[in-house]
Amino acid sequence: MSSVHKSGFVAIIGRPNVGKSTLLNRIVRQKIAIMSDKAQTTRNKIQGVYTTPEAQIVFIDTPGIHKPKHRLGDFMVETAYSALREVDAVLFMVSAEQPRGRGDDFIIERLKNSQAPVYLIINKIDTIHPDKLFGIIEDYRQQMDFKEVVPISATEGNNVEKLLEVIEGEMPEGPQYYPEDQVTDHPEYFIVSELIREKVLQLTREEVPHSVAVVVEDMKRDEYDKVHIQATIIVERSSQKGILIGKGGLMMKDIGIKARKDIENLLGNKVYLELWVKVQKNWRDKQKYLQDYGYRDMDY
31 is in an annotated binding site: no
Query: Could you give the CA distance from residue 265 to residue 262 in angstroms, rounded to a whole number?
Result: 5
239 is in an annotated binding site: no
285 is in an annotated binding site: no
284 is in an annotated binding site: no
284: nearest Cα among 74, 65, 36: 74
221 is in an annotated binding site: no
Are residues 60 and 46 in contact, defined by beta-carbon separation less than 8 angstroms? yes
Q: 262-286 burial string, b = 16+ CB within 10 Å, else e?
A: bbeebbeeebebebebeebeebbeb
18 is in an annotated binding site: yes
159 is in an annotated binding site: no
125 is in an annotated binding site: yes
132 is in an annotated binding site: no
Query: Could you give the CA distance from residue 70 to residue 285 in angstroms, rounded to a whole number?
Result: 6
Q: How far apart are the first and last CA of the chain?
A: 50
21 is in an annotated binding site: yes
120: nearest Cα among 157, 167, 69: 167
15 is in an annotated binding site: yes
16 is in an annotated binding site: yes
14 is in an annotated binding site: yes
Query: Could you give the CA distance from residue 122 to residue 19 in angstroms, rounded to a whole number?
Result: 10
61 is in an annotated binding site: yes
Query: Could you give the CA distance from residue 289 to residue 284 in angstroms, rounded to a whole number?
Result: 7
62 is in an annotated binding site: yes
266: nearest Cα among 227, 292, 296, 235: 227
Q: Is the dihedral of CA 241, 244, 246, 252 positive or negative?
A: negative
Residues making up the binding site: 14-21, 61-65, 123-126
Binding-site residue set for GTP: 14-21, 61-65, 123-126
